[in-house]
Amino acid sequence: AEAERASERAAQIGTGDRSEKVRTYNFPQRRVTDHRIGLTVHNLDDVLDGKLDQIVGALAEEEQRRRLAALSANGS
């Protein structure tokens, strides 16, 4: 149980490497890319206005997928 929690914490923290990107904001193309899940949206103005539903929803789906995969791997 403790090893599982430590692994989950490490996955959330990442490597800490300066080159580890979370998100790129491309102003000329009005594009935002979340590198953690490979999502690109073309509504930069909305994102900057705090309308993050599309990004947050995709992150939540990926987290759920990751947790289900971990449960499947542990249950097999």
> Domains along the chain?
2-75 (3.30.70.1660)
The whole model's pTM is what? Answer: 0.69
pLDDT along the chain (76 residues), means of 10: 74 68 96 96 97 97 95 81
Beta pairing, strands 31-34 & 39-41: antiparallel
**Per-residue pLDDT, 26:** 98
The Cα–Cα gap between 27 and 72 comes to 41
